[in-house]
Amino acid sequence: MDALVLALIALGAIGALLVLIIRFNVPAFVALLLVSVGTALATGMPFEDVVPTIVEGLGGTLGNVALLVGLGAMLGAIVEHSGGADALSERFSALLGPARVGVALLIASSMIAVPIFFDVAFIVLVPIVYAFSRAARLPSPMRIGLPIAGLMLFIHVVLPPHPGIVGSSVLTGADMGLVTLLGAALILPVGVVAHYTAKLLNRRAYAMLASTAELYEQNTGEPGTGGTDGARPSEDANGTDSSGGAGTPDGTGGTGGIGGAGASGTAKVSVRPRVEPQRPPSAAAVITVIAVPILMIGLQTVAGLFLEEGSTALRFLTMVGAPPFALLTGCLLALYLLGVRRGWSMRSVGSVMDAALAPAAVVVFVTGAGGAFAGVLTASGIGEVLSESMLGLGLPLLLLAFCLAALLRAAQGSATVSALTTSGLLAEAIASGGYSGLEIALVNLAIGCGAICLSHVNDSGFWIVSRYLGLSVRDALRTWSVLVTVLGTSGFALVGLTWALV
């Protein structure tokens, strides 16, 4: 088929995907499958090959994604329900002192965001943010809460086991360990940017919404005592996460929000008492269950540079440092250190872990459907045509990945869908470009940085942050939308610098 026709079919497929999700609120999983079928038929793929191609693309993606997202959801659920956020917040606040409460909570939130997906992690921290803001006699939670929300979302889009970066890494054949190490290295400098950008944005005062002001005054939990945590909206079928430690930070069609807030943002904010156990675990225990999997993955990646290929030590570390094995180890540590050791029965801990899998399943299937779409693009020849035409524009691959992800994010709101679509479109260019493992990992981080930008009213994360911080739509666009775009651009600048140096 002519290259121009294939390119037009690809553009039509992307347009159809956006229309289905934005205009008709079709669940992302269904929309991706429908567009995959339509694309396959439009390119003249034999009828008998359409379904096998989709199944192959979906199945090839689900292997790693299901393990990582499922295990990450269970690990996050234990950290959440055990009161891990309280423990870290109290510890870092005690270490840094009352004058640096905002910085202390920013550090604590960055650790909580590693295993817990954005919506859940932010809502868990809301009562702590409220309590410390009142203790500091701040008129609103904006000064403390804004940088926390921005950094947590950045971590969500660049660090496994979060679904967007996991899915794009699978589709492009990236080394997950290398992506994890490079993504973790971005957190500190981007955290500094988040702190100072939010400080600049907070130089002016923003009127707090009446419903949030009422909640802010009524929430009487003291810092570090457990307080309360937010009622968690469940994940919608378009990839909006907020339940049981699993999901994505993004909504589609403006359907995500607090308590079912849509684009109008009229729903009320609410909080609920945290369930057992009431006594938070030690900060050391929480840090251990979060850090050990990352260290295991890092050890395996670094060992490959020094140990002889095929040696017993390297083969053992390859198994131990594989992300699924490392996350399984983290889950077992959390089960014991945060659960059984503190008096939970195995049945109680098991119930928390099992409950986390239900919302995680939605994320897994959406990611798998993205793999099916990418499989059709490759099998039909569209991937090759697109890679040639995109590279023919003269844009470097890294910049193209960032811009495409940012545009798709702005168009339909879902960071996960934009990351999956971008990686699917660029997979052929990456595979045929002779790029090194480090360069492929950097491309995936560039996609993640693009996917955080331009959050606005079609993103459920926009509504969650704006309502819990008491912002009107206009003020949220002036603050939250600006902040995440600055963070995404800053992260991309660091990724581009690394690319230039290597």
Mean pLDDT of the chain, nearest integer: 83
Q: Cis check for the bond before 277: say yes or no (omega within 30 of 0).
A: yes
Q: What length does the chain have?
A: 502
* Residue 325, H or E segment: helix 323-334
C-alpha 483/C-alpha 477 separation (Å) is 9
Q: Which DSSP state fits 24?
A: S
Tell me the average pLDDT across 19-48: 90
pTM: 0.78
Give me the residue label for tokens 């699993």. 246
Specify the residue for token string 């560039």.
446
- Which tokens in the block code for residue 118? 């954005």
Q: Is the pLDDT of residue 297 over 90?
A: no
pLDDT, greater one: 229 or 284:
284
pLDDT tens digits for range 113-138: 988 888 888 888 888 888 888 878 88
Which range in 414-418, 440-444, 473-477 is most confidently predicted, on average pLDDT?
Answer: 440-444
Give one DSSP letter per residue of 249-316, joined into a string.
B--STT---GGG--TT--PPP-EEE--S--S---HHHHHHHHHHHHHHHHHHHHHHHHSPTT-HHHHH
Which band of pLDDT confidence, cut at 50, 70 and 90, is reported for residue 390?
low
